[in-house]
Amino acid sequence: MVPLSYYLVLSGILFACGVVGFLIKRNIITIFMSIELMLNGVNLSFVAFAARWQQLSGQVFVFFVMVVAAAEAAVGLAIIIALFRTRETLNIDQVNLLKL
Amino acid sequence: MFHLILFSVFGAICVAGAVNLLLQSHPINSALSLVVVMGSLAVEFLLLGAEFVAAIQVIVYAGAVMVLFVFVIMLLNAGVEERTSGSRVAWLLGIPAVLAGMVIVCWALLTHSNAGSAAIGALRGDPAAIAQLLFHQFLLPFEVTSILVLIAIMGAVVLAARSQTVERSKREG
């Protein structure tokens, strides 16, 4: 028996790591990976609550989150490729056309 | 007890992978530590009885999505991340705010939560049970996600295809 709060704390730590990576990383691919890390943290809390309340809907919701994440990864990486073609950099500090 | 030991070991691997993702400066190392995070998360899912979710976590996330990431990293020949000063506000305000929020949430969960506990094998999320739910109660969302995936495929092809107008303008300009 593991208390549910342990799972939620692990999920929170993963989410916080994702947010920190999103803030401090300068490489657009690594930022994208931080987003995936946040989604994984949320998935863990979905599954933990599903086990706690004996509801399989939580696991079905994780399935939907994974589908959306896969679609997002495909489109996002295509955008990164298009970005690299036009600007020839992966550093987000150099992608500042809309900046004042 | 056994459950707690497995949870702690794979939770520690998970957090170590996530921290390593932040510390590495080369994207390929970050991608490989993300694979470690996803693999150990699959074990955590198995401990919670989510067999189907653990399987698709390995197949879709650690398999397909990460292959896509590694492929793009190699395609674009991404090198070591350049250290720029970045956004100073993110360092000075964002990181302490995230850490403070995380500590408060963890403290509240660990001391004031009576959310109960999750026993091993209490709920079995085997493919048959998931499919029963997915194709009856969640049929409409399931069909909508199929349209989403179709649109994502078309969007990825359109975005990643070499645009002819850009080529022409490069040749002329």
Write out chain B residues lying below 8 Å of A16, CB-based: 98-99, 101-102
Residue B84 has pLDDT above 80, yes or no: no
Considering the four listed CATH numbers 3.30.420.40, 1.20.120.1200, 3.40.720.10, 1.20.1050.10, the one that applies to the domain covering B1-81 is: 1.20.120.1200
Work out the minimum CA distance from B147 to partner chain A, whole angstroms. Answer: 11
Res B117: pLDDT: 74
**In this structure, which amino acid lies at residue B4?**
L
Residue B173 has pLDDT above 60, yes or no: no
Give which of B146, B75, B69 is closest to A74, Cα–Cα: B69
Res B154: pLDDT: 93
**Residue A21: CB atoms within 10 Å:** 24
CA distance B140 to B110: 38
Residue A93 contacts residue B84 (beta carbons within 8 Å): yes
- The pTM of the full predicted model, rounded to 2 decimals, is 0.89
Mean pLDDT, chain B, integer: 86
Residue A45 contacts residue B124 (beta carbons within 8 Å): no
- Which neighbouring-strand residues pair with B126? none
Residue A46 has pLDDT above 90, yes or no: yes
CA distance B172 to B141: 48
Write out chain A residues lying below 8 Å of B52, CB-based: 59, 63
Q: How confident is the model at residue B107 (pLDDT cuts 50, 70, 90)?
A: confident
Write out chain B residues lying below 8 Å of A19, CB-based: 94, 98
Spell out the domain ranges in chain B: 1-81, 84-115, 126-173
Res B29: pLDDT: 93
